[in-house]
Amino acid sequence: MTKSKEAPLIGLIASKNPVSALEATVTSLFKGGASRVVVVDDGSDESDSLQVFDCVAKMGAEVIHLKKNVGKARALKAGFSILPKRCVIVQTDDDTLAGNLEGPLRVIREGKADIVDIRVETMHTRSLVGAVQELDYWMINAVSKRVQGWLGARLWMSGASVMYTHDAGKIIILEPSHSMTEDTEGLFRARSKGFRVRFYSKHEAQFLTMVPEDISSLHKQWKRWATGNGQVLGIYGLGGGNARIAAVNAFCWLDMLLPIPTAIRFGFLPSILWMTGTSILYGIVGAIRLKRVRLLLVGVFLPIVTAMWAFHAFQGLFLAYRMSRSGKTQMTWTSPKRTVILEPATPEAVLP
């Protein structure tokens, strides 16, 4: 694997019909430490978005315009193809702000990892649905991802906040994807080839992302995640040949599906009361850690979120099973509408 001690850091973004948030995203990458940013226009067809691409080009980003929409995985491949062989790539979405990238880059340059999955939190939201996700993202970073990192059994990788060497990128990006969650599938492929993964949980490097703020868009997003991870499960099994990862993956799937047998065994009302008590505790701790008083009340609604996760987990496994039986894999998906629009920011105002 290539030594990356002096390799330049380059940002990579795939985008279709972006809003002005893309300008702040590009600015944050430059301020965070990237010496170059490549943006791939995945067949955008809205005039306002084309103006956004012109703006980021004037800011110093290199924009590649694809004539038609080919999907995120293939768009990233087009951007990756022009990068130098000796570089480190930081990949993000077009509505996400990067933090200080020095820490994750140091992990790679010191040879401690080939892939660094960086902590990602949500921007401050305006709705109840958004606030629930603020708490949910915090729980995933503070508990799930951190524990998986300690065990050396990372299951999911966010394509919105990841850094990797060029050699690892060949496996993550260039090899064909067979699921809707191309980032997590890329993680399984790369790890099977011996590439090492680390989770960077420190707040100074964390990315901030926009999230859906209505039920319909949230349902679309979670359905994609559950189905895509179900497809990855069908392709690589529970652990891709690693018993430790298989055990953690089995635990996580059972944890998501647990509300269904619990409600059947103990009844709907007792299950809801038990989950509500636990969720209120999460809300209190999350509100303190995030310094967001409004999250104190959000824990009351986490049982609903838990039930939605259980439903989508079951749905994802079922759809993945049907696709595996038919031999057909749905590879395209429409991104959910995000109602929080981040306005362009000056370099000094980008980072929290």
Q: How many domains would you assign to the chain?
A: 2
What does the pLDDT average to over 79-85? 94
Same domain assignment for residues 261 and 125? no
Q: Do residues 119 and 71 both lie within one domain?
A: yes
- pLDDT recorded at residue 340: 45
User: Do 48 and 172 belong together in one domain?
Assistant: yes
First to last CA, the chain: 35
What CA–CA distance (Å, rounded) separates 277 from 300? Answer: 8
| Whole-number CA gyration radius for the chain | 20
pLDDT at 93 over 50: yes
Do 263 and 177 have their domain in common?
no
- Residues 150 and 195 grouped into a single domain: yes
Average pLDDT of span 106-110: 94
Tell whether the model's pLDDT for residue 150 goes beyond 80.
Answer: yes
In a domain, 17, yes or no: yes
- At 327 the pLDDT is 58
**How does DSSP assign 126-166, residue by residue?**
SSHHHHHHHHHHHHIIIIIIHHHHHHT------TTSEEEEH
Confirm if 177 and 98 have CB atoms less than 8 A apart. Answer: no
Interval 12-32: pLDDT, tens: 999 998 888 899 999 999 999
Return the beta strands (E) in the chain as ranges: 9-15, 36-41, 62-65, 88-92, 96-97, 115-118, 120-122, 162-165, 197-200, 207-209
Tens digit of each residue's pLDDT (9 = 90 or more) over 164-175: 999 999 999 988
Asked whether residue 54 is domain-assigned, the answer is: yes
How many angstroms separate the CA atoms of 191 and 241, rounded? 10
Assign 238 a pLDDT band (cuts: 50, 70, 90). confident
Of 215, 231, 261, which residue constitutes the final position of a domain? 215
Does residue 144 fall inside a structural domain? yes
CATH of the domain at 145: 3.90.550.10
Per the domain annotation, does 345 fall within a domain?
no
* Judgement on whether residues 91 and 211 belong to the same structural domain of the protein: yes
Q: Based on the domain organization, do 50 and 189 belong to the same domain?
A: yes
Residue 116 falls inside a structural domain: yes
User: What range does the domain containing 203 cover?
Assistant: 9-215
pLDDT in tens, 28-51: 999 999 999 999 999 888 888 889
> What CA–CA distance (Å, rounded) separates 295 from 350?
24
Q: What is the pTM of this model?
A: 0.79
What is the percentage of the chain residues whose pLDDT exceeds 70? Answer: 79
Confidence (pLDDT) at 270: 66
Q: Is residue 352 included in any domain, yes or no?
A: no
Give the torsion sign (CA, 67, 71, 74, 76): positive
Residue 199 lies in a domain: yes
Cα-based distances in Å from 121 to 61, 99, 178, 249, 338: 25, 11, 27, 22, 15
The answer to whether 117 and 157 have CB atoms below 8 angstroms apart is yes
Tokens of 149: 């990192």
> 319 pLDDT band (50/70/90 cuts)?
low
Q: Are residues 24 and 95 in the same domain?
A: yes
Measured at the CA of 224, the angle between CA 295 and CA 130, to 5 degrees, comes to 20
On whether both 148 and 98 belong to a single domain, the answer is: yes
Residue 259 and residue 145 in one domain: no
Answer whether residue 263 shows pLDDT above 70.
no
- 123 and 195 in a single domain? The answer is yes
- Residue 174 forms part of a structural domain: yes
Least confident of 73-87, 186-200, 237-251: 237-251
Higher pLDDT, 103 or 192: 103
Q: Does residue 158 share a domain with residue 118?
A: yes
Whether residue 286 is predicted with pLDDT greater than 80 in this model: the reply is no
